[in-house]
Amino acid sequence: GAVVSQHPSRVICKSGTSVKIECRSLDFQATTMFWYRQFPKKSLMLMATSNEGSKATYEQGVEKDKFLINHASLTLSTLTVTSAHPEDSSFYICSAVSESSYNEQFFGPGTRLTVL
Amino acid sequence: GQNIDQPTEMTATEGAIVQINCTYQTSGFNGLFWYQQHAGEAPTFLSYNVLDGLEEKGRFSSFLSRSKGYSYLLLKELQMKDSASYLCAAVDSNYQLIWGAGTKLIIKP
């Protein structure tokens, strides 16, 4: 099946620093990738839709200047959390859409961000 | 608005059968996914239904009724490792997933 990787899997940083998370589709091309955030005991919250070669579409309430998304190629999207604060601590998950598979979303393993 | 409803929590016994229901209201419909998520991990794919009816895959089966906006996930011969959250997600007309809050399934020996 299609494989999506995320790097890093876990990151701890100081408040005020920026953190970049990479999402890669390893064996298929993904014109669309999604970035989710998950709060404890809650469902996934869609943050933004990332389309290759164009600007990301952010969901209401998500600060685009704080969560920078770049989809530079058909296999790579990056999420940069700028000037991170403790409230940004969360589990960030990306998914990549395989157009050849019913537009199914294949999920990355997630990145756990802890901001001290 | 778009909405997905599923029970918050269910409890079942090892070896038994459990059915997790999901009702949805979306702008357009392009199928429904069920995912399993263990704590601290990303969701993993279980099933996808776009046509009415039951699809069986080993111990897990998924049913869809488009006219009723209803789906269920059926888990048979429950094992302790099946303890997890089960997420129902409908695909809307823009091919975005609309997520339910998830059903936490607790399996007791």
Helix (H) or strand (E) holding A92: strand A90-98
| Measured CA distances, B101 to A112, B4, B70, B104 (Å) | 20, 8, 16, 9
pLDDT digits (tens, 9 = 90+) for B86-99: 999 888 886 667 88
The verdict on A60 touching B (C-beta cutoff 8 Å) is no
Which residues of chain B make contact with A91, given a CB cutoff of 8 A? Answer: 40
- Nearest chain A Cα distance for residue B97, angstroms: 9
SS3 A87: helix
Looking at A10-24, A47-61, B59-73, which range is the least confident one?
A47-61
Whether cis (ω within 30° of 0) applies to the bond prior to A40 is no
pLDDT-based confidence at residue A1 (cuts at 50, 70, 90): low
- CB contacts < 8 Å between A and B, how many? 44
pLDDT value of residue A40: 62
pLDDT value of residue B7: 95
> Looking at chain A from residue 30 to 49, which residues have their Cβ under 8 Å from any Cβ of chain B?
32, 34, 42-44, 46, 49
Asked if residue A3 lies in contact with residue A26, where contact means CB atoms within 8 angstroms, the answer is yes
- Nearest chain B Cα distance for residue A18, angstroms: 23
Token pair 């997905």 in the structure block, residue: B4
Mean pLDDT by 10 residues, chain B (109 residues): 90 97 93 86 84 94 96 97 93 77 93
pLDDT at A65 over 80: yes
CB spacing of A104 vs B101 below 8 angstroms: no
pLDDT value of residue A43: 65
Token readout for B76 is: 């048979």
Closest CB to B87 among A43, A103, A109: A43
